[in-house]
Amino acid sequence: MAGKPVLHYFNARGRMESIRWLLATAGVEFEEKFIDTPEDLEKLRKGGDLMFEQVPMVEIDGMKLVQTRAIINYISTKYDLYGKDMKERALIDMYSEAIYDLTEMIGQLVLCPPDQKEAKVALTKDRAKTRYLPAFEKVLKSHGQDYLVGNRLSRVDIHLLELLLYVEELDSSLLAPFPQLKALKTRLSSLPNVKKFLQPGSQRKPPLDAKTLEEARKIFKF
């Protein structure tokens, strides 16, 4: 019997968080080996575990997978979270890419120099409420179904829930004009595995704070 997937990353959200979300939603228990020092990262590199010398890396089914999208696609396919055919997968990919764009914008705010922070926050909020959230609201309204694609749970729904929670952390008022998105958030949050992942003490990571950011800078030299 195969063991639990093992996730190699530092103890924060970053590019691994969407992977944690997918595994948790699928009800898959996983282990985490945190990269706490530059030496931890160098050990993985010298051991040949990181094909491109960077993380995230996930040990699963006898493989050591790197590159975030590749890991997400594998997990989504393995646990039937990637649509039923090519057309559905194309929509899932298209919507997911937009979600990644806004998620990246929000994530980059913590790295923003103080003198640029206010402008960056304002731009991110504007993009959320005028570009991204209206588009997903329109999709849900157009077909009247419970999920974004094919009326069944897929990885894009989980990515969107993760994003909506980040948007709320940024500014809780941003979701007010979008009843379809708020309803989707409520539905997904009530799914047993998702509800468990949202509880305190789960492997879900909190927002990145200044201390964790500084530790990450020392390890990854950015």
Mean pLDDT by 10 residues, the chain (222 residues): 88 96 98 96 95 96 97 98 97 98 95 93 97 98 96 97 98 97 98 98 92 86 76
Give Cβ neighbours of residue 82 (< 8 Å, ≥ 6 apart).
73, 76, 89, 92, 154, 155
The whole-angstrom separation of Cα 204 and Cα 158 is 13
Domains of the chain in start order, with CATH, are 6-79+197-220 (3.40.30.10), 86-190 (1.20.1050.10)
pLDDT (0 to 100) of residue 22:
98
Nearest CA to 155 among 25, 15, 6? 25
The whole-angstrom separation of Cα 31 and Cα 96 is 25
- The end-to-end CA distance of the chain, in Å, is 39
Tokens of 157: 């729904």
Q: Strand 6-9's sheet: what is its strand order?
A: 31-34, 6-9, 57-60, 63-66
Backbone angles phi, psi at 35, to 5 degrees: -90, 105
- Residue 215 near residue 10, CB atoms below 8 Å: yes
pTM: 0.95
The answer to whether the bond into 114 is cis (omega within 30° of 0) is no
